[in-house]
Amino acid sequence: MAKLIWRTGKVTEIPELLKAATLEKSAAVGTATVYHFIHEGQEKLAVSLPDGQALIMELLSTSKPRRRRIDPTKTAAIKLADETGN
């Protein structure tokens, strides 16, 4: 399952994003405007809020599985402690 990430910014950021994007759809919802677009090959959603802020949402890239990094030094120390009975 993809993870949704979001951030806030200034409303002036939306036109800059849209210059390099393909706009799929936009609509006014109350006093806000919602933009659905493709930017750098990724689907995004931006909401222009009436207070001059913007909310920008996108899916976290799932090109690589997220895995914990195992520190070989710590693993070796734990293994050594187990072997010596400490």
Q: Residue 36 in contact with residue 45, Cβ under 8 Å?
A: yes
Paired tokens of 61? 């890239």
Alpha helix locations (H) across the chain?
Answer: 13-19, 72-84
The predicted pLDDT at position 83 comes to 76
Q: Which amino acid is at 16?
A: E
pLDDT digits (tens, 9 = 90+) for 49-82: 999 999 999 988 666 555 666 666 766 777 777 7
Cα gap 60→66, rounded to integer Å: 11
Please list the residues that pair with 23 across neighbouring strands: 37
Cα gap 53→7, rounded to integer Å: 11
pLDDT digits (tens, 9 = 90+) for 10-58: 999 999 999 999 999 999 999 999 999 999 899 999 999 999 999 999 9
What pTM was computed for the model? 0.68
